[in-house]
Structure 1
Amino acid sequence: MDAYLARLGMDRPRHADVAHLSELQLRHLRSVPFENLSVHLDEEIVLEEKLLLDKIVGAGRGGFCYELNGAFAVLLKDLGYAVTHLQARVFDEDGRLGIPHDHLVLLVETEGAAGRWLVDVGFGDHTHHPLAFDLREDQSDPAGTFRLVETGDHGDLDLYRDGKPQFRIETRPRVLADFAAGAWWHSTSPRSHFTRSLVCSRLTEDGRITLSGHTLVTTAHGERHTEELPDDAAVLAAYRDRFGIQLDRLPVDPRDTRR
């Protein structure tokens, strides 16, 4: 856990309060990339806490939602937070819901009377800070305006960003193993966007940086810059220098017709 905190650039918080929770989430988003490289490196994704920590802390890698939120939950519990795994289904562009256990989010309870918080470090470009789980009004965040809306169906909640639905949360508690089928589907199905795309992305202090194949996209203060990296060596260097990921070979880009 100390090594995990060191990767986030933090000392161990003295209190499990919402202020430290917010700092932990923001630093996680800036330090640990959202990436699906394992899918294209033929690496098995196993949802066991020790293996997730070995990957994210020991190997200095990132992951997708099950891995990032799964590992973050271990850290938060070690720091004294009460953490519950919740399953969500992501809305597509046509407003249709994805598979069951499509996404893993965390419900976190803090010290004192601050309430319950929706925490998510595994949805890519998303909230920078926790959302008040029991609030049904607009919540401002650097990433936009968010609102949790009751669906009237079994206590489910829809999360909206700037008026657009993001995912539907089931409030029944889950355990990490419940998400194994979703992780397997997303890493193997030809219908999954993770098998059809290659991405490594993290938040920065002034925007975002994303590497997809040989294309490096940097956004700073709202301005977007795209750079085509000339060769594989430059891509490996970008993974190392921009994301802290040491690779000895490149993941196969499913969109690269040269391969």
Structure 2
Amino acid sequence: MDVKAYLKRIQVDSVGKPNLETLQYLMNQHLFHIPFENLDILCNRWIRLQHGAVFKKIVYQKRGGFCYELNSAFSALLQELGFQVSIVSGRVRTADGGFGPEYDHMALIVHLNEPWLVDVGFGDSARQPLPLSGKKQSDLSGCYRIKKIPNEKEAYVLEKKQQSRWVSSYRFSTTARRLRDFAVMCAYHQTSPTSIFRQQLILTRATLQGRISLSDDSFIHTIHGQKRKIPVQNIDVKRYLMYKHFGIDPDSIPLHHISCQKSNKPGDFSASSFNESISCKGRNLHDTNKS
């Protein structure tokens, strides 16, 4: 692995010892600079779960990816930097309160003085490593804890506090897995009509003060929990936003071929008028260094 290229991709100049402070910093930089996205899936481009292919996409092609890509790449980087890391299987909470199948999600356990859950591939979730001890931790995205599942060996659940109650995000086992173990579910999420990744555009990344996201029909900028949603259906505007906010070369993504892409409609914003429309209270929301 070209560690220098990877660190440059996440704008890290130097790395300290493999400790919790360094892990926190690397995790934040990864979340700030590499988006969670499903563009290849919508374009019917097969995602290969191979370290070389994933590295090339994320680092050299300056793309993002979904959980299997982001967490496997981050795992490889951490190991190169001296961290002890295990890839683990997660089962995402379903609408009926149950959980998906094994290998539905990929996360990481980093072993320091104690094991820590690390996840750079779950969208708007914890921005810092979480201890398996059950200790609550809060960041800009919310308050989180990891709860041991009774009567199940090595089984835990990640929970996020919503108002006064704790809601499960996904359950996971601390059993170490291999990258190829996730191949079947990775293929499912790329091909099944029931997969959320086949149904809509997902392009999002964390910022210092919130999050920016591009969906099928809108651009959403969140600052300290306050969301500003701008309708966007014009393909040229989407191309502009992909490059401006996510660093993705729009010529590499045939947006007009994406199945869920809606056709342009009269009255959509132009790229120039979009700049004006999201300037709010003297702050231009395109200034991602302040977002």
TM-score, normalised to structure 1's length? Answer: 0.93
Q: Structure 1 residue aligned with 2:147, among 121, 146, 149?
A: 149
Tell me the alpha carbon deviations over residues 142-171 of structure 1, each in whole angstroms, 9 at most, x when there is no partner: 322212112122321111111001111012
Q: What's the offset of the Cα at 1:54?
A: 0.2
Partners of 1:213 and 1:253 within 8 A in 2: no
Partners of 2:142 and 2:160 within 8 A in 1: yes
- Taking the aligned partners of 1:98 and 1:45, their CA distance within structure 2 comes to 21
Partners of 1:117 and 1:132 within 8 A in 2: yes
Tell me the alpha carbon deviations over residues 103-161 of structure 1, each in whole angstroms, 9 at most, x when there is no partner: 00001123xxx32211000000000110013x123233332221211212232111111
Tell me the alpha carbon deviations over residues 190-217 of structure 1, each in whole angstroms, 9 at most, x when there is no partner: 1111111211000011111000124111
Deviation >3 Å, runs of 4+: 251-259
- Secondary structure at 2:21's aligned position in 1? helix
Q: What's the offset of the Cα at 1:172?
A: 1.3
Match of 1:216 in 2: 219
Determine which structure has more spread, i.e. the larger CA radius of gyration: 2
Pair 1:44-2:46 in alignment: yes
Aligned length: 255
Q: CA RMSD of the aligned region, Å?
A: 1.6
Between 1:91-100 and 1:192-201, the stretch displaced more is: 91-100
Pair 1:121-2:124 in alignment: no
Match of 1:236 in 2: 239
- Taking the aligned partners of 2:37 and 2:262, their CA distance within structure 1 comes to 21
- Taking the aligned partners of 2:79 and 2:122, their CA distance within structure 1 comes to 20
Query: In the alignment, residue 27 of structure 1 is paired with which amino acid?
Result: Q
- Taking the aligned partners of 1:11 and 1:210, their CA distance within structure 2 comes to 27
- Secondary structure at 2:101's aligned position in 1? coil
Partners of 1:33 and 1:62 within 8 A in 2: yes
Go from structure 1 to structure 2 and tell me whether the alpha carbon gap of 1:221 and 1:43 turns closer, same or farther (over 3 Å shift): same
Pair 1:185-2:183 in alignment: no
- Taking the aligned partners of 2:175 and 2:29, their CA distance within structure 1 comes to 28
With a CA cutoff of 8 Å and minimum separation of 6, indicate the structure with the bigger relative contact order. Answer: 1
Partners of 2:140 and 2:224 within 8 A in 1: no
Q: Structure 2 residue aligned with 1:81, among 80, 83, 99?
A: 83
Q: Which runs of 5+ in 1 are unaligned?
A: none
Tell me the alpha carbon deviations over residues 32-69 of structure 1, each in whole angstroms, 9 at most, x when there is no partner: 00001111111111110011100000100000000000
Go from structure 1 to structure 2 and tell me whether the alpha carbon gap of 1:115 and 1:154 turns closer, same or farther (over 3 Å shift): closer
Query: In the alignment, residue 187 of structure 1 is paired with which amino acid?
Result: Q
Partners of 2:86 and 2:176 within 8 A in 1: yes
- Taking the aligned partners of 1:125 and 1:87, their CA distance within structure 2 comes to 19
- Secondary structure at 2:196's aligned position in 1? coil
TM-score, normalised to structure 2's length? Answer: 0.84
Partners of 2:234 and 2:263 within 8 A in 1: no
- Taking the aligned partners of 2:183 and 2:125, their CA distance within structure 1 comes to 23
- Taking the aligned partners of 1:140 and 1:206, their CA distance within structure 2 comes to 14
Match of 1:166 in 2: 169
Partners of 1:157 and 1:170 within 8 A in 2: yes
- Taking the aligned partners of 1:166 and 1:254, their CA distance within structure 2 comes to 28
Partners of 1:85 and 1:107 within 8 A in 2: yes
- Taking the aligned partners of 1:33 and 1:9, their CA distance within structure 2 comes to 14
Task: Report the identity percentage.
Answer: 35
Tell me the alpha carbon deviations over residues 47-102 of structure 1, each in whole angstroms, 9 at most, x when there is no partner: 10011100000100000000000100111001100110000100012211112200
Between 1:78-87 and 1:243-252, the stretch displaced more is: 243-252
Q: What's the offset of the Cα at 1:257?
A: 5.4
Pair 1:250-2:262 in alignment: no
Pair 1:206-2:204 in alignment: no
